[in-house]
């Protein structure tokens, strides 16, 4: 079994202020690599959904379910 690096992504809707913390993991050694396909969302807080699997750094894009706007990072 391959080891996985685990990390969190803080989420906040810029419209309503709803916050949450998503838990993610990546195959060991893939962090910050272009074309990363190993990112997995292990936990997604209620009120948010995933729009895309990941950008070029493997970071998924999360949106608020109510306002449909990007909620990644704060």
pLDDT in tens, 44-68: 999 999 987 655 565 788 999 999 9
**Residue 60, in any domain of the structure:** no
Range(s) of the domain holding residue 6: 1-40
Structure pTM? 0.76
Between 28 and 67, residue with greater pLDDT: 67
**Residue 5, in any domain of the structure:** yes
**Residue 71, in any domain of the structure:** no
**Residue 23, in any domain of the structure:** yes
Residue with tokens 């690096």: 5
Spell out the residues 6+ positions from residue 17 whose beta carbon is closer than 8 angstroms to its own.
none
**Residue 51, in any domain of the structure:** no
What sign results for the dihedral spanned by CA atoms 5, 21, 39, 15? negative
State how many domains the chain has.
1
Q: How confident is the model at residue 28 (pLDDT cuts 50, 70, 90)?
A: confident
Q: Which residue, 18, 23, 74, 15, is CA-closest to 50?
A: 23
What sign results for the dihedral spanned by CA atoms 15, 7, 34, 54? negative
């Amino acid at each position: 079994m391959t080891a996985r690096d685990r990390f969190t992504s803080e989420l906040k809707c810029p419209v309503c202020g709803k916050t949450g913390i998503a838990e993610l993991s990546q195959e060991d050694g893939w962090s910050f690599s272009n074309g990363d396909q190993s990112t997995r969302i292990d936990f997604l807080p209620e009120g948010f959904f995933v729009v895309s699997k990941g950008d070029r750094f493997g970071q998924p894009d999360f949106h608020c379910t109510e306002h449909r706007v990007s909620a990644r990072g704060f």
